[in-house]
Amino acid sequence: MVDDIADLIAESLIVRDLRGHVTLWNRASESLYGFSSAAALGRSLHELLGTRHLFPMADIEARLLAVGSWEGEVGRHGADGRDLSVEVRWTLRRDVGGMPVDIVETGRNIAALSALEQETRLAAHRYRNLFQAMAAAFWEMDFSRVRMMIGGLMASGVTDLPRYMADNPDWVVEAMRAVHVVDVNDKVISLFGASRRDEIVGGHVAWCFPPQSRHVFAESLIAAARRQDRYATETTLTRLDGRFIDVLFTVCWPEEHKGRGHVLVGVIDITERKQAEEETRRSERRYRELFDHMPVALGQLDMRYMNSQLAARYANQPPPRNEMDIDLNFIQDILRSTKAIEVNPEAQRLFRARRREDMLIPIERFWRTRPETVRRTVLARLNGEPGYSEETKVDALDGTQIDVLYTVAFPPSTWERGTNIVAFIDIGDRIAALARVEQMQAELAHAGRVAMLGEMAASIAHEVNQPLAAIATSGAACLRWLNRAEPDLGEVRELAGRVVSDAQRAAGIIARVRDMAANRRADHVPLNLNELVEEATHFLRHEFQARQVELHFSPVSGPALVSADRIQLQQVVVNLAVNALQAMAEAKISPPRLSIAVMAVGAIWLRVVVEDNGPGLDPATSPRLFESFFTTKREGLGIGLAVCRSIVEAHGGSIEAGNRADGRGARFTFTLPSVKAATSGI
């Protein structure tokens, strides 16, 4: 049945088992090879037909078993001893378990193909090869003599062609000389510096392979012998004038040319590309050296995610003006998806990384403490700034926070390339020194305040003691006069009068002490209240930064003149702000927010409003806040607000404490006459 069908096929169909013994031989095989099916069945196929190929049959069969199929042209002889060139296709059949069973061969006698069919096949291949070589200088070469040389080698027992060629460079040169250049296109003439075609056509190719490229010729022969379609490599060739050119060298070894021994060689000049590559390599090396040896920590980031996110979000709207307009969650998302792709040794040191790879992670890890820095960076970038820099803190891998000067530039090229470089300079030492100085100052100030308190206490004790003693004495005398059988009301009246005036003296002393706390004689000049408040917040900028306070300041528009003592009024603003910071810190508010506004009240008054988002004021104690020595803090002195009130009142104003309208935090306001009102004496 199978045989019957096989007999209907016009092509030779032969099946052989894994030992090579024929198990099926159809009618077309009978007519091609001249052996009857009876004569062929059970025989070794290759013995029967004397199958020949450039490579040993054993190698090809091994490859067939490995890959499952093979096709090519083999030499055979028929029953009458005729030589045949047969194009065969071998397919390995497997059983359901995947085990090889036998090999199915279809074969066509190449000579028997019609002339038209041969020509068509040739033209198709030519066309394909020309197409491949289109951008190239191409050569058509006759390799038939080389083929004979290879055949000779095989006949003399050489099986390892690559080894032989490697060991015998002279043979390779000889093979180059045996090549005959059949034709070249115009590009060959110009590329190889010829003036006429016949300087190249008709000759050999030994001249264009310099010694360092001869292996390329050998490899292309080996590729051809292995029946690869194509062989391509980059190499250097020599022009006729002896100059070297870098080329992409391609050999197409069309099977149907094999009969004629012709190959097509395409050569593309890549000298310029090579030079550009070398230049890039050199500049990359320079950059690399800089990158590695700078005493600055450098990191290269993959910016693609950030770029796409920014583009998606801000393509159709004006850039944000304020950092608060950029959602911190958006920044966190960017930080999670942006990776460091390279860091230099200094960066490893600064960020305490044991290995470079430990740092090639999403940069969120480094910005845990201060993601706002990245938010400000994004703000600067969106607003077209050339770069951004600030003193900030980064998180090292061991969990420590490091003070750094952080810098990033936004050159368009690096953004387009999708990477960017950030730099960090360790300013820990400087900051530590500064912090020590600040701490010393704070300690000094504290000591000064304590000393002042001691002094005040002593002077209060001293000065108040005296009227108190007098009051006690007068009181006791009063009682004595009253306890008499006949009280002397005249004496009592006089003594009571003394008690009152001594008490007044004591009150006067307290008032003087308060004035002393207000410290100095006032020096009134016209001042811009907006500027004054801004200056006061400027004093506290380190404090704001350290505690990461969000400060909102809204000045009044229009004139804001008051007649005031600059230092005293600043002291008021500073006191109110520091109280707010302390209250928010105590309650661990995050983020602490302080807003200061200057506003006009009617035509003559100016008001400063200081609001925080701390716990607010306790209604039970708020009536006493402005009293001297009232404090709810363990280390508090309780004179800050008292001094504020003295100062504000000395400026003809008033101060008030309360809670914010929304109940979330305290609100202190003080109101002063504006300059016109002050000078007109209101």
Which CB atom, from 447 or from 482, has the smaller least distance to ligand ADP?
A: 447
Name 403's bridge partners.
393
Q: State the Cα–Cα distance between residues 3 and 27, nearest whole angstrom.
A: 9
Q: Which of 621, 646, 649 is nearest to 633 (CA)?
A: 621
Which H helix or E strand runs over 71?
strand 69-77
Which CB atom, from 338 or from 646, has the smaller least distance to ligand ADP?
A: 646
**In the complex, minimum distance from the CB of residue 646 to ligand ADP, in angstroms, rounded to a whole number:** 12
**In the complex, minimum distance from the CB of residue 666 to ligand ADP, in angstroms, rounded to a whole number:** 4
**In the complex, minimum distance from the CB of residue 595 to ligand ADP, in angstroms, rounded to a whole number:** 12
Which CB atom, from 86 or from 643, has the smaller least distance to ligand ADP?
A: 643
Q: State the Cα–Cα distance between residues 561 and 67, nearest whole angstrom.
A: 94
Terminal Cα-to-Cα distance of the chain (whole angstroms)? 127
Position of minimal CB gap to ligand ADP:
640
- Contacting residues toward ligand ADP, per CB under 6 A: 575, 579-580, 583, 612, 614, 617, 625, 630-633, 636-642, 666
Q: State the Cα–Cα distance between residues 682 and 679, nearest whole angstrom.
A: 8
Which CB atom, from 426 or from 612, has the smaller least distance to ligand ADP?
A: 612
- Whether the link from the prior residue into 591 is cis, omega within 30° of 0, is yes
- Which long-range contacts link 151-159 to residues 24+ away (Cβ below 8 Å)? 151/54, 154/54, 159/56
Which H helix or E strand runs over 304?
helix 304-314
For residue 355 the two structure tokens come to: 């290995």
**In the complex, minimum distance from the CB of residue 428 to ligand ADP, in angstroms, rounded to a whole number:** 32
Q: Are 473 and 502 in contact (CB under 8 A)?
A: no
**In the complex, minimum distance from the CB of residue 425 to ligand ADP, in angstroms, rounded to a whole number:** 38
**In the complex, minimum distance from the CB of residue 513 to ligand ADP, in angstroms, rounded to a whole number:** 15
Helix then strand then coil, in percent of the chain rounded to 5, is: 50, 25, 25
Report the C-alpha dihedral over residues 300, 305, 307, 309, rounded to 10 degrees: -150
What's the DSSP call for residue 44? B
**In the complex, minimum distance from the CB of residue 313 to ligand ADP, in angstroms, rounded to a whole number:** 38
What's the DSSP call for residue 614? S
Q: Which of 532, 542, 618, 627 is nearest to 583 (CA)?
A: 618
The number of residues in the chain equals 682
**In the complex, minimum distance from the CB of residue 531 to ligand ADP, in angstroms, rounded to a whole number:** 24
Contacts of 476 (CB under 8 A, 6+ apart): none
Which CB atom, from 40 or from 637, has the smaller least distance to ligand ADP?
A: 637
**In the complex, minimum distance from the CB of residue 642 to ligand ADP, in angstroms, rounded to a whole number:** 6
Which CB atom, from 254 or from 614, has the smaller least distance to ligand ADP?
A: 614
- 334 in helix, strand or coil? helix
Q: State the Cα–Cα distance between residues 218 and 206, nearest whole angstrom.
A: 12
**In the complex, minimum distance from the CB of residue 631 to ligand ADP, in angstroms, rounded to a whole number:** 3
Q: State the Cα–Cα distance between residues 446 and 458, nearest whole angstrom.
A: 18
Which CB atom, from 541 or from 633, has the smaller least distance to ligand ADP?
A: 633
Name 601's bridge partners.
605
Which CB atom, from 373 or from 537, has the smaller least distance to ligand ADP?
A: 537
CA 128 to chain centroid, in Å, comes to 45
Which CB atom, from 136 or from 576, has the smaller least distance to ligand ADP?
A: 576
Which CB atom, from 442 or from 476, has the smaller least distance to ligand ADP?
A: 442
Which CB atom, from 210 or from 636, has the smaller least distance to ligand ADP?
A: 636
The single-letter code of the amino acid at 102 is D
Q: Which of 448, 462, 445, 351 is nearest to 398 (CA)?
A: 351
CB atoms within 10 A of CB 205: 19
**In the complex, minimum distance from the CB of residue 583 to ligand ADP, in angstroms, rounded to a whole number:** 3
Radius of gyration of the chain from Cα atoms? 50
Which CB atom, from 299 or from 640, has the smaller least distance to ligand ADP?
A: 640
Which CB atom, from 380 or from 617, has the smaller least distance to ligand ADP?
A: 617
**In the complex, minimum distance from the CB of residue 567 to ligand ADP, in angstroms, rounded to a whole number:** 18
Q: Tell me how many degrees the CA angle 464-469-475 measures, rounded to the nearest 5.
A: 125
Which CB atom, from 214 or from 645, has the smaller least distance to ligand ADP?
A: 645
Q: Which of 566, 562, 567 is nearest to 682 (CA)?
A: 562
Q: Are 527 and 566 in contact (CB under 8 A)?
A: yes
What's the DSSP call for residue 204? -
**In the complex, minimum distance from the CB of residue 506 to ligand ADP, in angstroms, rounded to a whole number:** 22
**In the complex, minimum distance from the CB of residue 426 to ligand ADP, in angstroms, rounded to a whole number:** 37
